[in-house]
Structure 1
Amino acid sequence: MSAIPTEQTRPPEADARDFVEGETQRPQLLIAVQERILQDPILAGHFAGLPTPGVPLLIGDPFNALSSPHQLRTSHRLVRAVDAFGNKYLNQYIVIKLLGCGRYGKVKLCLNAFDGKLFAVKVVDRKRLRDRRFLNEDGDSIMLQEYVHEIATLKKLHHPNIVALHEVIDDVQQRKVYLVLEYVEGGPVMEDNRWIAFPEELAQKYFRDICCGLDYLHYHKVLHRDLKPENLLQTADGRIKISDFGVSQVFETTDALSSTAGTPAFLAPEACTKSSFEGRPVDVWALGVCLYVFVFGTLPFSGKTIPDIYHAIQHKQLSFHPSIVISKELKDLLVLFFKVNHITSIKFVTLDTARPLLLIFD
């Protein structure tokens, strides 16, 4: 796989200037970050558990590597190192712990040694991307296509309700590629199959954040195609950010799709039956399913098998859980989402401080 082109590329020697391969040299870091490390239980636990417990001294960025959050950096050399404390480095990133596993591989929590910020680093295995079990009917790698789509999509995006991609470490001599993503502390707003209903006010707050992010995506001609609670991450201050753009798609003039993607229970009726359909309405339908799950802690349409789920989506009457009381306005909104000719687009318009946002449907 060739290196992935981006707007800003760092020379290979920049990544290795303060590392000596095969030795245990470490970079120097910012003093102010030391206090943050000691106050953060995850980081404090990591450094306390090292073979030689201690916190690295943080005194500055020797690479002058800090970049604008609007710019995506690409590094074409990966250097692994272990410092005197036992910290493992991927270039300037200290590996803290495993966050989870995804389609491509592992996701690790890492500390940037130059600015003390935490990042979620997605480790992508090139060999897995080309696994023969994941080829489409034309013989192309589905996972490779998804990976390329995710990079291309995230490069375009900068919004407070979208998870940001900060750097790509793509060393052609290495088996793995690393996507350095914004770390969202709260994780998924709801864990897989462990949904608990939210109070209506909180559900509306989350819904508002997702609407803002989705409106931004569609304005920039990006289809997410897999909106669901597990792909909605929550920051420490309660803001929702849309993540996981593995099956996303960028369109030019029309958002017509000819294949389904994403999670069956969140698909719109037309995506269950038609060979061609519009992508934006499918995203908006999935947004409605998310709102329903937030309020009731369960899916509006479900089944034991995928055909059962598709049948329920197309034919089952929308119902509300009798033990959970919601406002008439919210109930009317949910009914609007799941009409046969359902909402095709949704937008927030700023008004004033007393009534800051207005929903507009088409």
Structure 2
Amino acid sequence: MNTVSTDDRYLHKKFIGPYILKKTLGIGAIGKVKLAYHSKTNKKVSVKIIRKILFSKKPDLKIKIHREISVMKLMFHPHIIKIFDVLEDSTYLFLVIEYASHGELFNYLVKKGQLHNREALCFFQQIVSGIEYCHRYRICHRDLKLENILLDKIQTIKIADFGMASLNVSNELLKTFCGSPHYASPEVFSNEPYDGMKADIWSCGVILYALLTGKLPFDEENDNMKRLFNKIRFESLSIPDTIFPECKDLLLSIFIIDPSKRITLFKIKTSLWYKSLPLRRTCRNNFLENIHVTTIQNPVFIPDPDIIKFLVPLRLVSDQSVLIKVLCAKEPNLVRILYRQLEWRKMKMDSLQNDIIYKAIKRRKKLLKKKVYIKKKEIHSKIEIWKQPYKFKNYVVVKLLIKITISFFFSLDGITLCPLTSCCFIT
């Protein structure tokens, strides 16, 4: 993490690191989220400001925040919110994340009431693409809901809030109940050990149903949790006739109580309704980084301290010393794969944030504009030369042009084509 020397007085100036803080986007239990601009690139970002004093009062909160940072650092996908930077001082922790200007999908749905089939499918394809990416890295979101899905300025889906995320390592079952009860799968609700990936698929189904109907599939007045659980567990789901039959089949295959029989992401992607709309480019590519096999096979003897900082909170091993030993092991392992992914992402994000690269791009644009201006001057000068009186004494150009004409001869028998060729000299 980068350290920024700042205090409350500095914060009042609305400037933190290279970012200029602007209006407040939201206020939560642990801090604020502010809109900010990069001072050099003018790029808009969101800055999550967390008071560090809360970490001493709630040690679990510190673990949760650092795990969220580590999980977000692992991912680089067009439908997952990006984390650009982590800054801190003695009082605050600043998470600089991607700015989604159109806010929550929940608010968008409230305004529209419900979405047409095509728009709902477009959003659903993007959500599935992002969740598939998470699952490839064994990351379970565990808190998927309309409020945690954001829209950018061109209404592209951005999955956010990985505070409840967990790594599903070696197919181990999870035990912690988390997320919103209305989006939670039956196995999560009943406090049984569960597969986080299967639970995410159930939540995706709840989101899809809400997009198409404008209401949640399982709801209860006064938020009576016992009745809500009984609805989810025992009552059959009522699907309106306005929903396409192929989509009905998909929803019914998602809302299966037994997680082992629940549809997989692969089968969702091959379903008739899902394929009825051409995929966006961002959904066609799975955006899994092609980390070279040799980099995973080769031991990491001198690990990057910054990367180690983000691997430790994932709790793949007991402590940092064990983590380093695992990275040095001969056999490839999940820890090394994640290390290489963080290494790749660090290089990628450094190139995006690097001031030198930004200056080079700016200089290149100026040069291109200058060349266009020079070309325009050259064209103008050539026109001026062409307008000058022709000087026969210098040279005479002789060109042989072949002129081909086709004549039509009409007779009683029909039409006859007769090609004629003629030559002429032009000087």
Assess same fold via TM > 0.5: yes
User: 8 Å contact 1:81–1:89 — kept in the other structure?
Assistant: no
User: 8 Å contact 1:96–1:109 — kept in the other structure?
Assistant: yes
Q: How many residues align?
A: 269
Structure 1 residue runs without a partner (length 5+): 1-73, 133-140
Q: Does 1:129 align with 2:46?
A: no
Secondary structure of 2:188's counterpart equals helix
CA offset at residue 302 of structure 1?
A: 1.4
Q: Which residue of 1 aligns with 2:218?
A: 301
Q: Which amino acid letter does the alignment assign opposite residue 244 of structure 2?
A: S
Q: Which residue of 2 aligns with 1:66?
A: none
Give the percent of matched residue pairs that are identical in Structure 1 and Structure 2: 28
Q: Does 1:248 align with 2:165?
A: yes
- The CA distance in 2 between the partners of 1:253 and 1:79, in whole Å, is 43
Q: Which residue of 1 aligns with 2:126?
A: 209
Deviations 1:118-162 (A, max 9, x none): 110001111223435xxxxxxxx3322221220110110000010
CA offset at residue 192 of structure 1?
A: 9.8
Secondary structure of 1:180's counterpart equals strand
Change (3 A) 1:255 1:242: farther
Q: Which amino acid letter does the alignment assign opposite residue 132 of structure 2?
A: D
Larger radius of gyration: 2
Structure 2 residue runs without a partner (length 5+): 285-427
- The CA distance in 2 between the partners of 1:268 and 1:354, in whole Å, is 28
CA offset at residue 200 of structure 1?
A: 1.3
Q: Which amino acid letter does the alignment assign opposite residue 98 of structure 1?
A: T
Deviations 1:319-346 (A, max 9, x none): 1346xx1211111111111123352530
1:313 aligned to which of 212, 232, 236: 232
Q: Which residue of 2 aligns with 1:109?
A: 35
Q: Which residue of 2 aligns with 1:154?
A: 72
User: 8 Å contact 1:80–1:91 — kept in the other structure?
Assistant: no
Q: Does 1:118 align with 2:48?
A: no
1:191 aligned to which of 107, 115, 121: 107
- The CA distance in 2 between the partners of 1:255 and 1:118, in whole Å, is 39
Secondary structure of 1:267's counterpart equals coil
Q: Which amino acid letter does the alignment assign opposite residue 147 of structure 1?
A: I
CA offset at residue 75 of structure 1?
A: 1.6
- The CA distance in 1 between the partners of 2:217 and 2:76, in whole Å, is 32
Change (3 A) 1:298 1:188: same
Q: Which residue of 2 aligns with 1:219?
A: 136
User: 8 Å contact 1:255–1:279 — kept in the other structure?
Assistant: no
Q: Which amino acid letter does the alignment assign opposite residue 176 of structure 2?
A: S
Deviations 1:287-346 (A, max 9, x none): 000000111111111123222221211112101346xx1211111111111123352530
Q: Does 1:179 align with 2:95?
A: yes
Secondary structure of 1:107's counterpart equals strand
Change (3 A) 1:193 1:162: closer
Secondary structure of 1:333's counterpart equals helix
Change (3 A) 1:297 1:157: same
Change (3 A) 1:353 1:203: closer
User: 8 Å contact 2:109–2:115 — kept in the other structure?
Assistant: no
- The CA distance in 1 between the partners of 2:78 and 2:139, in whole Å, is 16
Deviations 1:97-118 (A, max 9, x none): 0000234211000011021101
Q: Does 1:262 align with 2:168?
A: no
TM-score after normalising by structure 1: 0.69
1:343 aligned to which of 246, 257, 262: 262
Q: Does 1:287 align with 2:204?
A: yes
- The CA distance in 2 between the partners of 1:202 and 1:312, in whole Å, is 29
CA offset at residue 170 of structure 1?
A: 2.1
Change (3 A) 1:103 1:206: farther
Superposition map of 1:325-336 within 5 A: 325-336=242-253
Q: Which amino acid letter does the alignment assign opposite residue 233 of structure 1?
A: L
Change (3 A) 1:346 1:103: farther
- The CA distance in 2 between the partners of 1:215 and 1:152, in whole Å, is 18
Q: Which residue of 2 aligns with 1:144?
A: 62
- The CA distance in 2 between the partners of 1:272 and 1:251, in whole Å, is 18
Change (3 A) 1:247 1:221: same
Q: Does 1:239 align with 2:166?
A: no
Q: Indicate the larger mover: 191-200 or 338-347.
A: 191-200
Deviations 1:38-59 (A, max 9, x none): xxxxxxxxxxxxxxxxxxxxxx
Change (3 A) 1:256 1:240: same
Secondary structure of 2:93's counterpart equals strand
- The CA distance in 1 between the partners of 2:19 and 2:153, in whole Å, is 22
Task: Choose between structure 1 and 2: higher helix proportion.
Answer: 2
Change (3 A) 1:319 1:260: same
- The CA distance in 1 between the partners of 2:74 and 2:6, in whole Å, is 28
CA offset at residue 263 of structure 1?
A: 0.5
CA offset at residue 91 of structure 1?
A: 1.7
Secondary structure of 1:264's counterpart equals coil
**RMSD (Å) for aligned C-alpha atoms:** 2.6
CA offset at residue 242 of structure 1?
A: 0.4
- The CA distance in 2 between the partners of 1:92 and 1:82, in whole Å, is 17
User: 8 Å contact 2:24–2:32 — kept in the other structure?
Assistant: yes
Q: Does 1:99 align with 2:25?
A: yes
Q: Which residue of 1 aligns with 2:2?
A: 75
Deviations 1:257-302 (A, max 9, x none): 0111111111111111143111110000000000001111111111
Q: Which amino acid letter does the alignment assign opposite residue 229 of structure 2?
A: Y
CA offset at residue 239 of structure 1?
A: 1.1
Q: Which amino acid letter does the alignment assign opposite residue 160 of structure 1?
A: P
Secondary structure of 1:277's counterpart equals coil
